[in-house]
Amino acid sequence: MAVDREDSSVMSIANILKSFRYWPRIMGLLWATDAKSLIAIMILNLFHGISPIIVLILTKDLINSITYSWTEGFNVILKAFAILVAFTLLSQLLNLIQSYIESLFKVLLMNRINKLIMEKSVSLSLKDFENSEVQDALKLAQNEAGHRPYQIMQQMMSLISGIVTLISAAGMLIIFRWWMAFILLIIPFTSFYSFLRIGQQEFLVQYNRIPKMRKAWYYSYLMTNDKNFKEVKLYQLGKYLQRCYNGLFKSFYKEDKKIAKKRLSTGIIFQVINVIANVLMMVVVLRSAFLREIEIGTVVALTQTITMTQSNSQALISGILSLCQHNLFLKQLFIFLDLKVSKNDKGKRTDIMEIETVEFKNVSFMYPDTNRYALNNVSFKLKRGETMAIVGRNGSGKTTLMKILTGLYDDFKGDILINGISIRSFNQEALRNHMAVVCQDFVQYELNMRHNIGFGNVNRLERDDELLESARRAGIDDLVDQLPHGLDTQIGRLFDQGSQLSGGQWQRVAIARAFMRKADLYILDEPSSMLDPESELQVFEKFRELIHQHIGIFISHRYTSIKYADHIIMMDQGEVVEQGSHIELMKKDSMYAYLYKMQLSAYSDNDKEEVQYEMVSGDR
């Protein structure tokens, strides 16, 4: 999957106009968020648009009523004043109501956008998620799309009210001198192209810096995340990382300053033109008053109308430019939401009662953008009740095999058979319900212990007996008992009152999470990398108990831990170079035996004698 970065970054009038095609989707998004609030906001904005002209007319009537009162009495003034006060109070009340509705609507809209982004993220495959362009699209969606839809809504509403105000104000000027309205409307439109070009440049700057922004975030993450603190401190990386972050920030600031200068200089030029036009028109109005062609109230109304027409025409152009820019940013949200999901499980089999057999048949796999097979023609078969260990040097394909089996990658050659049926025929979610996995890079959930174990089966989160049984099987029942609030104790240091665990304890929690799942196939990828030898032995003993009458696969670098497996696969450069039982492989005296003996060379002489005994007593 690739994000169409080139098309997204081509800045032209045509592309900006194309970006408006998302308006129906934006309106659909706004409508789905809260239709009643949206209607109320639109009505209130229409009132807000016509309100200034009504105030202007009422003010004109009030001033002119002073002249009329000399012959008709003071009541004329009181009546005009009462109407103005009543309308002002009504306008202020409606403004407060509008602010209230909009504040709640904004919260709902941002929540809906975040939900859409999260839903899309979890629907992607691992291949998609590891794509840097997809990560860029996700980052921009998270950074910009959360507030842009609301800003677009506000801008649209402001445009509607601004157009109403502008038409009303221009109408008053047309009655007095039509050419004044024409000049005040045309001047801002002459600035449109200049500000549009600046907006284009600003978008391109923001768009092209996305990879650098992700790197800046990562530098900040390294310095502020507790998991990195020890190494950053011990290796004295803090100042270096700060310099890296500051270097990126300075480059961002330099680009932003350049754009700001262009916007300032362009704004000054057109502001001077506006002021000159404004002054000339004011002179025309004042001269008409001097010649007694208009009343004093009308003078006030016309001078305010000139100012209002000018400011609203400028605001209208500015609003259109902002909408263009918002559209270009919001387009990235829809690009991300429209990413095609690689895997389609519609119509696939869900009738999986139990996994009886797992068979790899000539499976080969190559990671995207590489030309070397991570797996090459791998074949083996496992039946219920059997265990298999996968060993090999780093980069030999052990973890890749696990990713293929669990459906994290699906574009492999050959086939994987579950109960004799191709894995491609099964619904992945249904199949994963029968699997329990401890990943090499397992997650340390900064939540309570209940969730850390219970995430293995979220439907059983409240079953304390099952949670404690899984903890017992993983050998952490004593740990749970010692926690201040048992299963409900906060784990980690990210939130208040958290209890931090050691690396080995975190790993056992991850194993307990896998044990929580009532699975047919258990896969442990480096389940003992953080455990001491005694704990490691306990874990594998519990694992052998757990997978009785199930299928077990575990990946390990510790050869002493896997010698009791029914089958051992030795992998090298993506290929299965040896397979058999521990005794059979020791008798072959090839790569497996060499690595096994090399690992034991650091152990006691008794262990070495055990190796010698195993090699000569192969019939045992």
Three-state DSSP state, 553: strand
Burial status of residue 458 (CB atoms within 10 A of its CB: 0-12, 13-18, 19 or more) = exposed
Q: Is residue 276 part of a domain?
A: yes
The SS3 assignment for 609 reads helix
Span of 8-12, 83-87, 427-431 with lowest mean pLDDT: 8-12
pLDDT at 18: 62
Distance CA 55, CA 53 (A): 5
Would you say residue 309 lies in a domain? yes
Structural domain harbouring 455: 441-518
Average pLDDT value over all residues in the chain:
79
> Is 84 in the same domain as 197?
yes
Q: CA 305 → CA 268, 299, 314, 613, distances in Å?
A: 23, 10, 14, 103
* Element holding 571 (H helix, E strand): strand 567-572
The whole-angstrom separation of Cα 328 and Cα 171 is: 34
To the nearest 10°, report the CA torsion of 492, 496, 499, 503: 20
Complete DSSP assignment for 70-97:
HHH-THHHHHHHHHHHHHHHHHHHHHHH
> Contact at 8 Å (CB) between 282 and 303?
yes
The pLDDT assigned to 358 comes to: 92
For residue 510, pLDDT over 50 is answered with yes
Residues facing 381 on adjacent strands: 359
> Which amino acid appears at position 595 of this protein?
L
Other beta carbons less than 10 A from residue 358's beta carbon: 22
CB half-sphere exposure, 410, CA atoms < 13 A: 17
495 assigned to some structural domain: yes
Residues 6+ apart with CB under 8 A from 44: 94, 97, 98, 101
Query: How many Å apart are CA 100 and CA 282, to the nearest integer?
Result: 39
User: Looking at per-residue confidence, does 181 or 344 come out higher?
Assistant: 181
pLDDT at residue 153, as a whole number: 75
Question: Which of 340, 322, 341, 318 has its CA nearest to residue 330?
Answer: 322
Query: Of 283, 306, 337, at which residue does a domain stop?
Result: 337
In a domain, 361, yes or no: no
Quick one: 307 and 445 in the same domain? Answer: no
Does residue 447 share a domain with residue 328?
Answer: no
- Would you say 336 and 352 are in contact if contact means Cβ atoms under 8 Å apart? no
Boundary-marking domain end, from 518, 553, 579? 518
Provide the domain count of the chain: 2
Convert the pLDDT of each residue in 254-301 to its tens digit.
988 988 888 888 878 877 877 787 778 778 878 787 777 777 777 777
Q: Are residues 200 and 316 in the same domain?
A: yes
Say how far apart CA 189 and CA 166 lie, in whole Å. 14
The answer to whether position 106 is within a domain reads yes
Residue 554 CA: distances (Å) to CA of 258, 453, 507, 534: 57, 20, 14, 18
pLDDT at 145: 59
Its pTM stands at 0.63
Do 332 and 459 have their domain in common?
Answer: no
Helix or strand run (H / E) with residue 389: strand 387-392
Residue 40 tokens, joined: 């109320």
Instruction: Indicate whether 325 and 446 sit together in one domain.
Output: no
Q: What share of the chain is helix, strand, coil (3-state, %, to 5)?
A: 65, 10, 20
State the number of CA atoms in the 13 A half-sphere of 530 facing the CB: 16
- 3-class secondary structure per residue, 224-290: HCHHHHHHHHHCCCHHHHHHHHHHHHHHHHHHHHHHHHHHHHHHHHHHHHHHHHHHHHHHHHHHHHH
Cα→Cα distances 385→381, 435, 469, 520, 566, Å: 12, 15, 21, 10, 9
Tell me the C-alpha distance between 475 and 468, whole Å: 10
Do 39 and 177 fall into the same domain?
yes
Give yes or no: residues 327 and 445 share one domain. Answer: no
Selected residue with higher pLDDT from 132 and 417: 417
The single-letter DSSP state of residue 443 is -
Are 85 and 216 within one domain?
yes
**Cα separation, 576 vs 376, whole angstroms:** 8
Question: In this structure, are 449 and 325 located in the same domain?
Answer: no
Does some domain include residue 556?
no
CATH number at residue 513: 3.40.50.300
Query: What does the angle CA 93 – CA 98 – CA 32 come to, to the nearest 5 degrees?
Result: 155
Buried b (16+ CB within 10 A) or exposed e, 514-530: bbbbebbbbbbbbbbeb
CB-based contact 428:517 (threshold 8 Å) = no
pLDDT score of 362? 94
pLDDT of residue 613: 39
Q: What are phi and psi of 138, to 5 degrees?
A: -65, -45
Confidence band (pLDDT; 50, 70, 90) for 606?
Answer: very low
Q: At 525, phi and psi to the nearest 5? A: -100, 110
Q: Which of 7-16, 75-84, 90-99, 587-596 has the lowest mean pLDDT?
A: 7-16
- Of 320, 337, 354, the domain-final residue: 337
- The bridge status of strand 387-392 relative to strand 413-418 is unpaired
Q: What is the pLDDT of residue 144?
A: 62
446 and 328 within one domain: no
Q: What distance lies between CA 488 and its chain's CA centroid?
A: 29
CATH number at residue 267: 1.20.1560.10
Residue 316 inside a domain? The answer is yes
pLDDT exceeds 60 at position 411: yes
Supply the DSSP string of 107-166, one letter for each residue.
Answer: HHHHHHHHHHHHHHHHHS-HHHHT-HHHHHHHHHHHHHTTTHHHHHHHHHHHHHHHHHHH
Q: What is the mean predicted confidence (pLDDT) over 351-361?
A: 87
Q: What is d(CA 448, CA 470) in angstroms, rounded to the nearest whole number?
A: 15
Residue 108 to residue 114: CA distance in whole angstroms: 10
Q: Among the ranges 158-172, 197-211, 530-544, which has the highest mean pLDDT value?
A: 197-211
Same domain for 115 and 264: yes
The sheet that has 387-392: what strands, in order across it?
435-438, 521-525, 551-555, 387-392, 567-572, 575-580
Residue 557 lies in a domain: no
Give the lowest-confidence range in 218-222, 414-418, 525-529: 525-529
